[in-house]
Amino acid sequence: MKEKTRQILIKIYEKQFKEKVKNISKLARSGSNREYYRIRSDNNSAIGVYNSDKKENIAFIEFTKHFLENDLNAPKIYQSDLKKNVYLEEDLGDKTLFEFLSNVYQKGIFPQNLIDLYKNILTILPKIQINVDKKIDYSKCYPRKSFDRQSMMWDLNYFKYYFLKLVKVSFDEQLLEDDFQKFCDYLLDVENNFFLYRDFQSRNIMLKDNKIYFIDYQGGRKGALQYDVASLLYDAKANIPDHIREELLKHYINKLQNYVKIDEQKFVKQYYGYVLIRIMQAMGAYGFRGFYERKEHFLKSIPYAIKNLKFILKNIDLPIEIPILMEALNNVVESKYLKKIGNKKNNLQVRINSFAYKKGIPGDAKGNGGGFVFDCRGILNPGRIDEYKNMIGKDKIVQEFLENETEINDFLTNAFVLVDKTVENYISRNFTDLLVNFGCTGGQHRSVYCAEKLSKHLENKFDISVNLNHRELES
């Protein structure tokens, strides 16, 4: 089926751009079952998507139309063949808000440029929620046209069965169900006739050419204003400091007042209820992907989610009595089992080297053999251009050249897929060592760039030790 999908995507790409496809590479899958392919020709590139869920495809294409009509940056849909479950969309690159945050938010300092970026996003959010709502066809929503009681109960039961039960938190099933119903009553006692993006978080916001783009809104439906801002500010691994969350929330409310009149005090009280259900929904996802599907990197988000939950339980006072739910949530925060997971450090160490082939492939000091050697010499060499000759792959101008003028992103995407699978397997088997080498002609530009990128990728995705060495730069 995969080869058939590739051929269908190649056909519609060549129809769209009137150019022969030079390269098609599958992108790493995140939390969904959709398949993404980056397709390139001499003068263009696009993203091909295969998704067997026809209704979800229809929702995404419909909502994209309304985003673009309202001057909101979203990927253009070039072509679609919904009978074959494929469509071709604009290539927005690989830089997400989360990647940018991971690079600049270091040593506990949430810098001003990152605060400003979040404020820009939150300035746009009311336009999404209110302007898009005016013309959208909610009959195209999937799986439901509103974030109603049924939607909320799906999320709460997701949390119950894929988190509470899997982490061994005990509860009375019927009494918890009763509290879920009371909690839904409270959440539904707000105006909820706005467009709800549903998964408004840092991995679904792209940064390209100094512009903010939005993706993965196919789960959109009618709902309350509070939900999306809660999703963004309590995005677990973003780990936004509490005082900055408060600053950003005030900024959002200030911008929202330009569109609708709200009672700010009441809005904030109701907002924390939506923070709570969003945290539970996310924990359900982490439990399903991490404990049930055994995808290790989803477990890394659990300590951050627990930290957020602990803050909420300590600082809010909901005007409803839901004692069984609160007891279960407090047991999550205090769970010794979860604390072990949060403090657990995988034994795996990945050693990453850049090197020059003329000096030989680095030996394996651990004596395990195996691992990976990636040959970067098929990528256009910046070292042959006078402007870059005396620079290295860490220099921004060299990085921009590689990203914009070569196929290094496709090269790395495929390398990441291979290394990720091995890392996940090694973690599950409690292995302690993996060697990854990137080689090029001089060990100065391409291999250094690739080694740096893989190092950041693994550190962001897995709870492992990464040892990075640029042999020719350090010799």
Give 253's contacts (C-beta < 8 A, 6+ positions apart).
262, 264, 267, 268
The H helix count followed by the E strand count for the chain is 17, 13
Dihedral pair phi/psi, residue 93, rounded to 5°: 85, -160
Enter the pTM of the model.
0.79
pLDDT in tens, 259-274: 999 999 999 999 999 9
Pair 249, 219: CB distance under 8 Å: no
Strand 349-356, strand 465-470: pairing: parallel
Q: Is the pLDDT of residue 52 over 60?
A: yes
Q: How confident is the model at residue 25 (pLDDT cuts 50, 70, 90)?
A: confident
- Residue with tokens 């042999």, as numbered in its chain: 471
Tell me: the pLDDT tens digits for 64-93? Answer: 999 999 999 999 999 999 999 999 999 999
Q: Does residue 453 contact residue 412 with C-beta atoms inside 8 Å?
A: yes
Q: What is the amino acid identity at position 192?
A: N
202 in Cβ contact with 99 (< 8 Å)? no
Helices assigned H by DSSP within 200-292? 225-233, 242-256, 264-286
More confident position, 342 or 181: 181
Whole-angstrom Cα distance, residue 20 to residue 13?
A: 8
Please, what's the largest Cα pairwise distance for the chain? 72
> Cα(363)–Cα(367) distance, rounded to whole angstroms?
9
Q: Write out pLDDT tens, residues 342-354.
A: 555 667 899 999 9
Q: Compute the distance between CA of residue 199 and CA of residue 203 in angstroms, rounded to an integer.
A: 9
Mean pLDDT across 376-383: 96
pLDDT recorded at residue 141? 95
SS3 472: helix
* Residues 103 and 111: beta-carbon distance below 8 Å: no
In the beta sheet, which residues pair with residue 89? Answer: 47, 77
Query: Which stretch of 25-29, 298-302, 333-337 has the lowest confidence by average pLDDT?
Result: 25-29
Nearest alpha-carbon partner for 355 in 438, 290, 271: 438
Which of 284, 283, 323, 325 is CA-nearest to residue 306? Answer: 283
Q: Which residues pair with 223 in a beta bridge?
A: 194
Q: What is the pLDDT of residue 26?
A: 83
**In the block, which residue shows the tokens 């061994």?**
168
Residue, of 331 and 25, whose pLDDT is higher: 331
* Cβ count near 204 (within 10 Å): 21
* Domains of the chain listed by start with CATH number: 2-90 (3.30.200.20), 97-343 (3.90.1200.10), 349-474 (no CATH)
CA torsion 284-287-289-290 (nearest 10°) is: 160
List C-alpha distances in Å: 235 to 10, 17, 292, 391: 36, 38, 21, 37
DSSP 195: E
How far apart, in whole angstroms, are the C-alpha atoms of residue 83 and residue 411?
Answer: 31
What pLDDT was estimated at residue 463?
A: 78
Cβ atoms of 79 and 88 within 8 Å: the answer is yes
Give the phi and the psi of residue 413 in degrees, each rounded to 5: -55, -45
Q: Is the pLDDT of residue 45 over 70?
A: yes
> Which one-letter amino acid corresponds to residue 335?
S
The partner residues of 350 in beta bridges, in order of sequence, read 434, 466
- Residue 467 predicted with pLDDT over 80: yes
Q: What is the pLDDT of residues 102-128, one digit of tens each?
A: 889 987 899 999 999 999 999 999 999
Average pLDDT over residues 222-239: 97
pLDDT at residue 237 is higher than 60: yes
Tokens encoding 415: 């390398």
* Per-residue pLDDT band at 461 (split at 50, 70, 90): confident
